[in-house]
Structures are given as C-alpha cells and as structure tokens.
Chain A
Amino acid sequence: MLSNLEFIAAFLTSIKWIICSLISQVVAGFTAALALDKIKKGQGVYRTLLIVPWEFPSIVIVLSWKWILNGVYGFLPNLLVKLGICETLPQFFSSSGLVFGTLVFINIWFGAPLIMVNVLSALQTVPRDQYEAAQIDVASPWQSFVHITLPHIRVVVCLLVVLCTIWAFNNFDTIYLITDGTGGCPANLTETVPIYTYNVSWGLKQLGVSSAVTVLLLIFLLIICVFYFKILDKWEKEGA
C-alpha cells in the first residue's frame, strides 16, 4: 500500500491541505480577534457578524458557495468579469489552478470564526494592568504584544491548532460535496486521504486496503497530537 502512488499523492494533498488551511485559518482568526479586541464601539455587532459562518451546516455551506461561485451564472464570477478583473468567467471548481484555493478559502471561511472567538476570549483575560506597566516602561506595542499578550494566550492558541489540524485532516464532507465525490475535478487534485479512503472502499470495494489506510491515518494524527501536547505540557509547566 505504501508503494501505491495514488495513496502517496492523496497523503501529500492532505498535508498541503492541512498546512494551507491551518495557517490561513489561524492568521485570519487571530488578526480578527486582535482587531476586535482593539475597537470599542460595535464590538458585539462585528462579533455576531463574524461568527455567522460557524453556524452553517456543511451542506448549506457547500450549496451556497457552489451557487455563488458557479461557473456559468454564479454571482462572483459574473461580478469579477463586470469589474474587469477577469476577461472570462473564472471556473472556481473546475480549473486546476483555482479549485484547491477555492476549497481552502471555504475552509478558512468556515473555520476562522471559531479561532477568532476563542482567541478573543483569551485576550480579554489578559490583565490590563500589565499593559499599563509596559506603557510606563515605554515598551513598543510590538514588545508588549510579544511579552505580555502571547504568553497569556499561547496555550489556547496551541489547543486550537491541535483541534484545527484534526478537523482539517478529517474534513470529508466539504471537499466531497464540492468536488461531487470525484476526488477533485481535474486529475484528483483535491483528493485528500479521507476521500481516497472512501473512494477505495465504496468505489473500488477494496475494504481491506481502506481499513489499512484508516489505521495509518489514525497513527499519523496520534503522532501530531502527541507532538502538540508535549509542547503544551512544557508551556504549562513554564507558566506555573
């Protein structure tokens, strides 16, 4: 199985998928939380608006995005053409250069709000008097961010990273529904390991192979989790 090229390709796609969606989710959620923490007026309104994507069931996410980004009558492609950004209608789901980016974008759109809310609540527990002390000592905003904010919230962020890694790795429904279960429209471009497993087991009826893949998947996730929790343990001991 390990010499199976398709499996290796799916595994590499999965790694790419995790790295892209994890980094961009964390960056988007983190910056949104920092911005939300900074403003005073309308914080509640913005928080409510930004948490909207997290409340969508995955079938509604897929339905609405497929509809908005549809290559013929979708709203966004037509808008891009009208604004003169693109000459022809961009095919978000079938052009080989765009489909992966579209999937990552939808995953960010779905996943970033959770990170934002959690980081925001962590930010609000940071004691304010430490910032005042930093201001008296003429610390730059960057310094007070690195030395006060980060140590307080890094445990929460690390836990979120663990969760998001697992969710991104196990993400099946969004990718499967958007690519209509073909494992990526052009040449299996978006076939991650869960989709590969499904296709092998119920498409090719090779249940043994797919079980073996699933066990490998479990081991891989366990290794990642052990790695993360080691870091978390170390940080908590430092904090105590």
Chain B
Amino acid sequence: MNKERKLRRGWFETTICYVYLTILAIIAAFPLVWILLSSVKGRGEITGNPTTFCPKSFTLENFKIVIEQLISITTSLIVSSLRVLPLRLQV
C-alpha cells in the first residue's frame, strides 16, 4: 500500500518535471525555430500582417545571397592568408 502510493507520487512528479521542461524548452528554442523558418520564407512574408508561422512558399534565395557574399569573403581570406603565411614561416 505504502509502496504503491510512493510509486504513484514518483510518477506524478516525473510528469510535472516533463511538462515544466517542455514549456521551458519551447520558450528557449522558439526564437531559433523562428529564425530558421524565416530564413526560408518567401519575399514579403516576414513583414506580412499578420505574420505566418510556417512559410507559405519555400525559398533558398536568402541563403544564396549569403553564400555568394561568403565566397567573396573567402577569396579575400585566401589572399590575406597567403600573404601572411610566408611571413609566419620565416619567423
């Protein structure tokens, strides 16, 4: 009898823990999910009123722009490191 009650209380406590942690996890991860979803939203959807949670049209246009910029940065990185590397080796 006593053992059964103890078991039931343990189950109850665990459930409360899971519910609490789930709420916290939703709050904690929400902005990340939001940013991820927004990055694939189509043109004008981000600032649309009311804002949608799930993107209506899927696009990778934004990623394309960023990666193109990244490539130009990479070029300058390569150039600058090639310029610096011999100096480093001399020391």
Residue on A nearest B35 in the bound complex, by CB: A64
The answer to whether A50 and B21 touch (CB under 8 A), given A73-B48, A75-B53, is yes
Interface size on B, residues (CB 8 A): 25
Residue on B nearest A51 in the bound complex, by CB: B28
Whole-angstrom distance between the alpha carbons of A53 and B27 in the complex?
A: 9
**When each residue 1-30 of chain B gets 1 if its CB lies under 8 Å from chain A and 0 otherwise, what string results?**
000000000000110111011001101111
Whole-angstrom distance between the alpha carbons of A65 and B13 in the complex?
A: 33
**When each residue 109-143 of chain A gets 1 if its CB lies under 8 Å from chain B and 0 otherwise, what string results?**
10001000000000000000000000000000000
The answer to whether A35 and B17 touch (CB under 8 A), given A50-B24, A78-B50, A78-B51, is yes
Q: Which of B21, B25, B32, B53 has the most CB of A within 10 A?
A: B21
Whole-angstrom distance between the alpha carbons of A32 and B17 in the complex?
A: 8
Tell me, rounded to whole Å, the shortest Cβ–Cβ distance linking A92 to chain B: 14
Whole-angstrom distance between the alpha carbons of A78 and B52 in the complex?
A: 10
- Contacting pair A52 B18 (CB below 8 A): no
**When each residue 27-63 of chain B gets 1 if its CB lies under 8 Å from chain A and 0 otherwise, what string results?**
1111110110010000000111111010000000000
- Contacting pair B31 A32 (CB below 8 A): no
- Contacting pair A49 B50 (CB below 8 A): no
For residue A36, which residues in chain B have a CB less than 8 angstroms away from its CB?
A: 17, 21
Tell me, rounded to whole Å, the shortest Cβ–Cβ distance linking A202 to chain B: 30
For residue B32, which residues in chain A have a CB less than 8 angstroms away from its CB?
A: 52, 56
A to B contact number (C-beta, < 8 Å): 63
For residue A28, which residues in chain B have a CB less than 8 angstroms away from its CB?
A: 24
> A146 on the interface (CB 8 Å rule)?
no
- Contacting pair A64 B31 (CB below 8 A): yes
For residue B24, which residues in chain A have a CB less than 8 angstroms away from its CB?
A: 28, 32, 50
The answer to whether A46 and B53 touch (CB under 8 A), given A52-B29, A73-B48, A109-B28, is no
Whole-angstrom distance between the alpha carbons of A51 and B32 in the complex?
A: 12
Whole-angstrom distance between the alpha carbons of A113 and B21 in the complex?
A: 12
- Contacting pair A65 B14 (CB below 8 A): no
Whole-angstrom distance between the alpha carbons of A58 and B56 in the complex?
A: 29
- Contact check: which of B14, B17, B28, B49 meets A73 at CB < 8 Å? B49
- Contacting pair A35 B25 (CB below 8 A): no
For residue A75, which residues in chain B have a CB less than 8 angstroms away from its CB?
A: 34, 51, 53
Give chain A interface residues in 51-81, CB to chain B under 8 Å.
51-53, 56, 60-61, 64-65, 67-68, 72-75, 78
- Contacting pair A61 B31 (CB below 8 A): yes
The answer to whether A52 and B51 touch (CB under 8 A), given A38-B14, A39-B14, A75-B34, is no
- Contacting pair A73 B47 (CB below 8 A): yes
- Contacting pair A73 B50 (CB below 8 A): yes
Given A38-B13, A67-B46, 20 other A-B residues pairs in contact with their CB atoms under 8 A: A28-B24, A32-B21, A36-B21, A38-B14, A39-B14, A49-B25, A50-B21, A51-B28, A52-B28, A53-B31, A56-B31, A64-B31, A67-B34, A68-B30, A72-B49, A73-B47, A75-B34, A75-B51, A82-B50, A113-B28
